[in-house]
Amino acid sequence: MTIKQVITVPIFIIALCALFISCENDDETIPVGEDWVNLDTKVYFIDTLTIKSSTFKFDSITVSGTSKLLVGAYTDPIFGLTKSKSYVQLSNSIYTLDSKYTYDSIALILNYDSYFYNDTIPVQTINIYEVLDDIEPDDDATSYYNTTKITSTTTPIGTKRFLAKPTKDDSLHVTLSNTYGKTLFENIRDNKINNSDEFLKTYKGILIEPDNSNTAMLGFLKTSFIRVYYTDKSEVVTDSDYIDISFDETNSFHNISSEIEPTIFSSLTNQETFLPSTSTDNNVFMQAGTGMATRIDIPNLESLYDIPGTGIIIDANLKFKLKQNSATDNLYTDDNLNVYIIDHESNIVSALVDSQGSTVYATIESENSEFNITTYTIPVKYFLNLKLTDINGDKYYLAIYPSSFSESVNRYIFNGEAASKTIKSKLELTYAIYDK
């Protein structure tokens, strides 16, 4: 080895190493000075805060302004019989008919909404009754409630046994009694009824009521109507025509009730009674239409302040899971649930919103098909901050209930906070301490 080589080889190696090291340093930024920074910020993930879930039932829910009318009944082993009947005020606009016309027939045409719940395979029966009192809200109320009732005849003016095909058929045709139809037609033709007031005095409305058999809950549109057919027999060839009497959209509503056998819900006589999940086999319940909802209480939120330092809730989500196999194809669940802030008397304070003021819902976070676990999540950071800062914060709870609460009857069973570890409901909180 020459002297030149002795010198150049190590220099070459050193240069190569230097190149390698400098390349390596370019590839990743190494935090220089990391140890020098006294990082005060600490972030905690907390999923052990106590929550208490319970079932309660709103005394009544308003059903004015729904887009559909529910008619039907279904029976569930836990929820019992759920039944909806609809009161309809009629709105007629034709009061002049030539005396040459004679009555032919009358039918109630019910236009299907796409909504249905439970099994449509069994034959179901509906009865149509005449309403005997004016259809109007109760004396002290301005809107109709799911509990509003109006007197009706006991003998039906029409009965229909049918197979419900809400997705296939456009409408359901119910023939009404000719006695009812003929009188109605002649009252108009013979000018016994000449305007709406006179019409409503005689024809206060109809009640569409299902029988109690376990069938489907059906939704009908308020564009449904009564059609009266008549003919002109003075012509050589009989000419037939009809008049349509539409539904008054404002004064048509459904009454939804659950006829509960002595079940776990028997004690829910008013909305200030709560059925803790721990006393219902670690389940909580909700059902649209009847007003059954789940209440979430976070009783020890202030224990966050036991962590020393000034902190801030970074993120908070309430997670709860459907009871396994409780939802079926017939008794299906929706992907979104409504969430409201309520007070200790279960009066609604406001819809749950996020910090931007946008309404938030319970949404499906994950669906595990292997174990049939559906998890819903609700962002509750805003709510927790409200609880911590509002003077009435300790009286605020969350009420979770199905969407379309006033015009559907979907029911849900969720696991409570004391269920086994993998399925229990819990509050997941990310909390940061930034100042000691």
**Sites for other proteins among residues 356-375 (CB under 8 A):** 356
CB of 87 to other proteins, least distance (A): 46
For other proteins, the closer CB: 37 or 236 = 37
Report in angstroms how near the CB of residue 307 gets to other proteins at its nearest.
Answer: 10
Q: Does 300 bind other proteins (CB under 8 A)?
A: no
Q: How far is the CB of 433 from other proteins (least distance, A)?
A: 10
Task: Output the CA–CA distances (angstroms, integers) from residue 246 to 119, 143, 170, 171, 194, in the order listed.
Answer: 29, 21, 17, 14, 17
Q: Which is nearer to other proteins, 230 or 361 (CB)?
A: 361
Regarding 140 and contact with other proteins (CB under 8 A), the answer is no
One character per residue 13-52, x = contact with other proteins (rule: CB under 8 A): ------------x---xxxxxx-xxxx-xxxxxxx-----
CB atoms inside a 10 Å sphere around CB 206: 27
Per-residue mark of binding to other proteins, 232-271 (x: CB under 8 A) = ----------------------------------------
One-character DSSP codes across 326-344: ---SSS---SEEEEEEE-T
Classify the C-alpha dihedral 29-30-34-36 as positive or negative.
negative
Per-residue three-class SS string for 132-156: CCCCCCCCCCCCCECCCCCCECCCC
Enumerate residues 330-359 that contact other proteins by CB under 8 A: 355-356
- Number of residues near other proteins (by CB under 8 A): 29
Residues 214 and 119: their CA atoms lie apart, in Å, by: 8
What DSSP string describes 239-276?
EEEEEEEEEEEEEEEEEEEEE--S-GGGG--STT--EE
- Of the pair 30, 237, the CB lying nearest other proteins is at 30
Residue 315 contacts other proteins per CB under 8 A: yes
Q: Is 306 in the site for other proteins (CB under 8 A)?
A: no
Alpha-carbon gap, residue 261 to 212, rounded angstroms: 13
* 178/60 Cα distance (integer angstroms): 37
Residues β-bridged to residue 229:
105, 242
Minimum distance of other proteins from residue 385's CB (angstroms) = 8
Q: From the CB of residue 420, how many other CB atoms can be counted at a distance below 10 Å?
A: 8
Q: Does 305 bind other proteins (CB under 8 A)?
A: no
| 375 vs 385 by CB, closer to other proteins | 385
Query: How distant, in Å, are the alpha carbons of 71, 78, 153, 263 from that of 209?
Result: 7, 23, 12, 25
Whichever of 34 and 306 has its CB closer to other proteins, that residue is 34
Task: Give residues with Cβ within 8 angstroms of 220, minimum separation 6.
Answer: 68, 69, 70, 71, 86, 110, 111, 112, 113, 172, 208
- For residues 405 to 434, the per-residue mask of contacts with other proteins, x marking binding by CB under 8 A and - elsewhere, is -------------------------x-x-x
Q: Which stretch binds other proteins (CB under 8 A): 57-65, 138-146, 269-277, 311-319?
A: 311-319
Measure the CA angle with vertex 260, ends 259 and 264; round to 5°: 160
The residue (of 33 and 262) whose beta carbon lies closer to other proteins is 33
Is 38 or 96 the residue whose CB approaches other proteins more closely? 38
Interface ranges with other proteins (CB under 8 A): 25, 29-34, 36-39, 41-47, 312, 314-315, 355-356, 381, 385, 430, 432, 434-435
